[in-house]
Amino acid sequence: MIENTVIKIGRWAIDIRNGVKDFSLFIKSIVTSFKSLRYIRFRSLYTIIINQTRFTGVDALSIVIIIALLLGATVIIQALTSLPKFGVEGFLGNLLVIIIARELGPLATTLIVIARSGSAIATEISVQKWSKEILAMELMGIDTKLFIVFPRIIASILSIMGLIIIFDVVAFIGGYLIALTVIYIPMDTFGQTLIDSFTFKDITAALAKSILFGIAVPLICCYYGFKPNSKFEIPIFVSKAVIRTLFVAIIVNIAISTIFYLI
Amino acid sequence: MLEELILEVKNVKYTRDGVTLLNNISFSLKKGEAMVIFGTEDSGISHLFDVIIRGDVSFEGDVLYKGSSIKELDYFSLMEYKEEIGYLHGDYGLISNLSVEQNISLPLEYHSSLSGAEIKNYVNKLIFDLNLDHCKKLRPFQLSRSEILKTAFARSIANEPDLLYLEHAFENQCYLNIITIFDILKKRIARKDKSLIIVTYRPENFIDIANRFIMFFNGRIVFEGSKDEFLYSQNPYLIQYKTNNPEGPMVIL
């Protein structure tokens, strides 16, 4: 029994080590492929960046706005009902900034992007690999690592950055409108409280998160997209792509919050 | 003369997982020459792709392209080498989210120094030559088999490659529907500076195009000759292949 458990843990550790090594090699190949940038015409990447930004950013706007409204409202309702009990209702703005701008906005936005675009990236690449589209590109002398991964990273950074800003703004406005149904707070007071609560650190932390999420989401999803060697492996690796990107996103979120607010 | 050669395969032995797939293969291709390589399913003709096109250098011997060994190519030179060779395989590999004209212009958009307008004009000419006008805005899933082949073919010649390598590209196609491709191939060969390799199970379909024929069996070359030799040789391997006879020097599983 104990022996079996030790063997299982050992195998698990070896799998993790091999996975990390393989992912490092993938990143190395991406970095190497960046050198091809000087050989290619940027116009061939431009269309992909535009299309990916439209799919990841613009097309996700409606769902981001709805979720931002709902989450913003939930936070405000909880704040309005709980803060007076502790006599700290004056800290409503601080609470909104802490919960929505610092944590909920970046994380919820990234989770939406992972669910929509991360899974789409992994599926698209796996299907392209299976139908030998990627092989065809390689045989045209196209650096597929650069051609496929690089535009998605750029599009993802731009989209996540934009969506986080929109999420925060909508959550604040939505929260304010919901709050109005319970208690009257003048608009200028509400706005001033929010502005006073924002610090430069909050903005840089949100920026760092959007850049790191923007790199991590397409990178991990592309990595798993390139993995399947047969058709039946496609759903297995797409599922892995989504779950592991979610996991990494939460870890990155904690790491950045720790670096910016704890250390 | 070495300078006339575009491709030289020298004593290539290619082994994978302990199995010898190509054994002591040597042949060369001159500029303006059209060669048909044929053989049975496990004869090794498909593994020439790994050695000549894919850039797998784990073989013994050497492959020279325009006099330079492909074993010495670095990461970027290998990309440039692939850019110079037009390749079309039987799976076609059209990019599914791009239209016919976007698929054809992809290698030009990526590599060429032509302007956007020049690429558009050039691609439109290719589309016209291959009778693809009616479907140039369609995506691959909306195309017929011959339209898919024509699009992939147009893409493979878009960069004006000096060597065109067609691997099982015409199998399962109605030859009447793709007659335009044969016309283009004949014109290319007539130019004397463009070479062609066709890997196929049906060499007799390319008698009007090719001037050399090579037959593989068991990873070795068992017949090599001109069009006349292909038609009239008494080589027992060739006769067995042409007559589809299970009896002969080749043991077919």
Quick one: pLDDT at residue A129? 93
Closest CB to B109 among A35, A44, A136: A44
Q: How many CB contacts within 8 angstroms connect chain A with chain B?
A: 76
Contact of A226 with A104, CB cutoff 8 Å: no
Yes or no, beta carbons of B92 and A127 under 8 Å apart: no
Which helix (H) or strand (E) element contains residue B149?
Answer: helix B145-157
Confidence of residue B3 (pLDDT cuts 50, 70, 90): low
Chain A contact set for B117 (CB, 8 A): none
pLDDT tens-digit map of A42-57: 888 888 899 999 999 9
Chain A contact set for B159 (CB, 8 A): 140
For chain A, the three-class secondary structure string (H helix, E strand, C coil) is: CHHHHHHHHHHHHHHHHHHHHHHHHHHHHHHHHHHHHHCCCCHHHHHHHHHHHHHHHHCCHHHHHHHHHHHHHHHHHHHHHHHHHHCCHHHHHHHHHHHHHHHHHHHHHHHHHHHHHHHHHHHHHHHHHHCCHHHHHHHCCCCHHHHHHHHHHHHHHHHHHHHHHHHHHHHHHHHHHHHHHHCCCCHHHHHHHHHHHCCHHHHHHHHHHHHHHHHHHHHHHHHHHCCCCCHHHHHHHHHHHHHHHHHHHHHHHHHHHHHHHHC
Yes or no, beta carbons of A136 and B116 under 8 Å apart: no
Q: What is the mean pLDDT of residues A106-134?
A: 94
Quick one: pLDDT at residue B2? 46
CA-based nearest residue to A89, from A77, A100, A80: A80
pLDDT tens-digit map of B119-168: 999 999 999 999 999 999 999 999 999 999 999 999 999 989 999 999 99
Closest CB to B93 among A32, A40, A133: A133
Quick one: pLDDT at residue A197? 83
Closest CB to A40 among B53, B82, B110: B110
Quick one: pLDDT at residue B78? 87
Rounded to an integer, what distance in angstroms lies between the CA atom of residue A110 and that of residue A249? 7
Query: Considering the entire predicted model, what is its pTM?
Result: 0.86
Yes or no, beta carbons of B93 and A147 under 8 Å apart: no
Contact of B131 with B180, CB cutoff 8 Å: yes
| Stretch among A166-175, B30-39, B130-139 having the lowest mean pLDDT | A166-175
Closest CB to A39 among B76, B107, B159: B76
Task: Enumerate residues 99 to 138 of chain B having a beta carbon within 8 A of any beta carbon in chain A.
Answer: 106-107, 109-113, 116
**Smallest CA–CA separation between B107 and chain A, in Å?**
6
Contact of A163 with A57, CB cutoff 8 Å: yes
Dihedral (Cα; B129, B131, B135, B140), 10-degree rounding: -80
Confidence of residue B1 (pLDDT cuts 50, 70, 90): very low
DSSP-derived 3-state class of residue B43: coil
What number is the ipTM of this complex? 0.86
**Smallest CA–CA separation between B150 and chain A, in Å?**
15
Yes or no, beta carbons of B107 and A142 under 8 Å apart: yes
Q: Is B168 on the interface with A (CB under 8 A)?
A: no
B10-44 burial, b if ≥16 CB within 10 A, otherwise e? eebebeeeeeebbbebebbbbbbbbbbbbbbebbb
**Smallest CA–CA separation between B208 and chain A, in Å?**
28
Chain B contact set for A39 (CB, 8 A): 76, 79-80
Mean pLDDT of chain A: 89
